[in-house]
Amino acid sequence: MAALLGEPTFSALQKWGSSGGNQTVVDMVRPEMLHMIDPHWYSFPPMNPLWHAILGFVIGVLGFVSVIGNGMVLYIFTSTKGLRTPSNLLVVNLAFSDFCMMLCMSPAMVLNCYKETWVWGPFACELYAMAGSLFGCGSIWTMTCIALDRYNVIVKGLSAQPLTNKTAMMRILFIWAFSAAWTVAPLFGWNRYVPEGNMTACGTDYLSQDFLSKSYIMVYAFFVYTVPLCMIIYSYFFIVSAVSEHEKNMREQAKKMNVASLRSQENADKSTECKLAKVTFFD
């Protein structure tokens, strides 16, 4: 751990231990950033440099794993012709969104953790927060579209209208247009992007009490979190119910016919759809 922290961080640890209660988490912030910081954060003492180092290490590892993992998904799905199905276009879009989020945000966060404050300036702070909003919203709504597609295939079955490449691309276009609209809104005065927490990251201003800031947070939370969550819960509730009912009927029919299994190719295909639904759910 000593090698990880290095001498400068160890010195900062000693300074932190003897600083008493006079310092705040804002003390190390660069002067050009101070106008963006809410007074709320002036009441918090600086975080222990050891925790900064641990957080930077964890974020670095998670970022590396995510970039490599999602990069492999993008490569495999785009280079294998048999995987280029309409449903998999949504999976690729999810991998792309997660890949871009970690590629854009993880390196900056790691350096800030070891510097113990935001070091990139106000403009980069806004870009960082915009990336989090854009790709976060994109990932959430992509998972929602995947859940609805699984609901369409598994619950409705043969009566469902199949997803086409054109429909899938239209949904992906909607996802990014919708996400971009929420991302740029703070740049036009509806809320703003500011440093937050231990001052090593930036995000949406959720502390200001003026009407514009509060209304953005409430409307954003409703359309980007509450609505997708309800749709995902609704979809997977009926997916689980349909799969459970199907398995129950299969077991009862097999018992009547005195055979071990009645699984056909159709059932195997349905099992594949269920597996894809499980992967998306746990993602």
> What CATH number is attached to the domain comprising 197?
1.20.1070.10
The answer to whether the CB of 67 falls within 8 A of the CB of 105 is no
Mean of pLDDT over the chain: 85
For 61-87, the pLDDT digits (tens) are 999 999 999 999 999 998 888 888 999
Proportion of the chain above pLDDT 90, given as a percent: 69
In angstroms, the CA 262 to CA 242 distance is 17
Average pLDDT over residues 196-201: 93
User: Residue 168: what pLDDT?
Assistant: 95
> What tens digit of pLDDT does each residue of 143-158 get?
999 999 999 988 887 7
- Which domain covers residue 41, as residue numbers? 2-282
The CA distances from residue 135 to 35, 36, 95, 103, 189, in Å, are 26, 23, 11, 11, 21
Cβ proximity of 136 and 101 under 8 Å: yes
Cα of first residue to Cα of last residue in the chain, in angstroms, is: 32
- Which pLDDT score, from 0 to 100, does residue 235 have? 94
Distance of alpha carbon 202 from alpha carbon 240, whole angstroms: 38
User: Buried b vs exposed e over 80-107: b needs ≥16 C-beta within 10 Å?
Assistant: eeeeeebbbbbbbbbbbbbbbbbbbbbe
**Both structure tokens of 222:** 């409703």
d(C-alpha 201, C-alpha 214), whole Å: 21
Question: Using 50, 70 and 90 to split pLDDT, how confident is the model at 18?
Answer: very low
Strand partners, 73: none
Q: Measure the CA angle with vertex 226, ends 152 and 199; round to 5°.
A: 130
Closest by alpha carbon to 106, among 57, 51, 63, 56? 63
C-beta of residue 113 within 8 angstroms of C-beta of residue 53: yes
CA dist., res. 93 & res. 149, Å (int): 14
**Domains contained in the chain, number:** 1
Q: Which of 39-48, 49-58, 167-176, 239-248 has the lowest mean pLDDT?
A: 239-248
Q: Where do we find the tokens 């006079």?
A: 22
DSSP 48: P
Residue with structure tokens 């953005």? 216
Q: Is the pLDDT of residue 279 over 70?
A: no
Indicate the pTM of the whole model. 0.82
